[in-house]
Structure 1
């Protein structure tokens, strides 16, 4: 059930909780910039009440509430009316065209809104300092790893991704501390990737996680975590949304590297295009 549906139902909430709900529903555009303390002050309640409300509806805390609420509120001109993004057996090809475009655009916008510029700067610094970039991913996420690896090569960073799981283990076991590792995991709970991260930690390799869930088992093992949008049901293309948002994140990183090393990157790719021009 969607968060806005739960809030609009007005069931089983205390008077204090209802005051908080009424405020965020009416001032939904402000929520992304409000801390728990800010919201408490505006509703004449308390930070503890804000956190309790978040937990009462099944979330870990206000930070998760803010992400989910903002994500859903962005889909509508006001929370009173939804764009229905779920794919159903009643959809026509035209409605599917609209829904898929809207879902992917929203995922990228949600990801953009959550990006911490300081964290991007730290990540770019790690990439710049690394002798080699290694990618670790399973199943569908290998598609993103391969695209990112190819882009980083064009940016002048030696990069590797192995499709076979056993090769990824060997890659981790052989990685020196001069390497940087990217782990791509939607849930942050993939057991094989957790084992790989533990190996990398013993090798003193810096790890950057791209994920849709925070916190998770992998976030505890990684040096930097880049959050991307994905928390949707299967009929809202949850898995595909993660791929779109993760690709956007890697496109941002590549573009920052391109801008930072503009002349050398441009020269390298102009030479590449001359060789492979048809």
Structure 2
């Protein structure tokens, strides 16, 4: 861990803070570790201040915003090994590392299955089945999940596209309508490009689905259906396999349920797509 320069800076500026800024600072002093795992929406609700006030506070201490603030806190307040993996310690041997990571990944799958809303999943499935067009948005590590979603749905004959470029995401979103579905994938629920694209899709009339780890996060404000994952990740460990496994768990359930609903059509397309790529294998 580094010296807690960020917290020291907050203390040094405390007397110059406004009433709201002091409220934010007081909350940080009491919950410095918990904040690392909070979305800005959760922090806002727990601290009883607006998200805008939090962003302004971060800028007042010379940070770009809330995500950078969490990154700095993670550097200063969490052991370096925990930023590689929350369960790992510096003196762990290979066998312990194997066991701890395996247990953490299994926990992510189990906890995701527990938190996943069947009602939200049903809404999402019905929307997919009724849609003429499906566009999927994800950037960074979530772009790979978006690409996997496209691959899976194409295998069962559903026309869809995935976008990781923010400009293409926005252009896609404004071209959607009431017969379209937009899926935004963001572990934090605060990825600006994905949130903005889903907001545009909703404004255009599309049915919107968010796959995220945080029910109270910016992306869920624009989602007709929220499919939650449950994995723990520090900002320095962004894109970790544990969060990816949780996303893929949701996606696999989603895809399988849609395939079963499509019945023979899905099974016929599985055979056709399998035959189509067969010549590509030795």
Q: TM-score range by the shorter chain?
A: 0.5 to 0.7
Q: Which runs of 5+ in 1 are unaligned?
A: 1-55, 65-83
Alignment match, 1:206: 207
Q: Tell me, what secondary structure is at the counterpart of 1:157?
A: coil
Q: TM-score, normalised to structure 2's length?
A: 0.65
**Using the alignment, how far apart are the partners of 1:235 and 1:106 within structure 2?**
20
Could you tell me whether the CA contact under 8 Å between 1:230 and 1:239 is conserved in 2? no
**Using the alignment, how far apart are the partners of 2:162 and 2:239 within structure 1?**
24
Q: Which runs of 5+ in 2 are unaligned?
A: 1-29, 47-84
Instruction: Please give the per-residue CA displacement for 1:27-52, whole angstroms capped at 9, x wherever unaligned.
Output: xxxxxxxxxxxxxxxxxxxxxxxxxx
Alignment match, 2:24: none
1:249 aligns with 2:250: yes
- Please give the residue correspondences for 1:49-60 in structure 2 after superposition, counting only pairs within 5 Å: none
Instruction: Please give the per-residue CA displacement for 1:157-204, whole angstroms capped at 9, x wherever unaligned.
Output: 111012322111111122222110000111212222232222112211
- Please give the residue correspondences for 1:1-278 in structure 2 after superposition, counting only pairs within 5 Å: 86-233=87-234, 239-277=240-278, 278=281
Alignment match, 2:78: none
**Using the alignment, how far apart are the partners of 1:186 and 1:242 within structure 2?**
7
**Using the alignment, how far apart are the partners of 2:236 and 2:222 within structure 1?**
32
**Aligned positions, number:** 202
Q: Tell me, what secondary structure is at the counterpart of 1:219?
A: helix
1:272 Cα deviation from its structure 2 partner: 2.4
1:154 Cα deviation from its structure 2 partner: 1.3
1:237 Cα deviation from its structure 2 partner: 7.8
**Using the alignment, how far apart are the partners of 2:110 and 2:192 within structure 1?**
30
Moved over 4 A (4+): 56-61, 234-238
Could you tell me whether the CA contact under 8 Å between 1:177 and 1:203 is conserved in 2? yes
1:89 Cα deviation from its structure 2 partner: 2.7
Change over 3 Å in CA distance of 1:119–1:258 after alignment to 2:
same
**Using the alignment, how far apart are the partners of 2:169 and 2:254 within structure 1?**
23
Q: TM-score, normalised to structure 1's length?
A: 0.66
Change over 3 Å in CA distance of 1:236–1:276 after alignment to 2:
closer
Could you tell me whether the CA contact under 8 Å between 1:231 and 1:238 is conserved in 2? no
Instruction: Please give the per-residue CA displacement for 1:11-41, whole angstroms capped at 9, x wherever unaligned.
Output: xxxxxxxxxxxxxxxxxxxxxxxxxxxxxxx
Change over 3 Å in CA distance of 1:221–1:234 after alignment to 2:
closer
Aligned residues: CA RMSD: 2.5
Change over 3 Å in CA distance of 1:116–1:263 after alignment to 2:
same
Alignment match, 2:7: none
Change over 3 Å in CA distance of 1:101–1:114 after alignment to 2:
same
Could you tell me whether the CA contact under 8 Å between 1:87 and 1:236 is conserved in 2? no
Taking CA–CA contacts closer than 8 Å with sequence separation of 6 or more, which of the two structures ends up with the larger relative contact order? 2
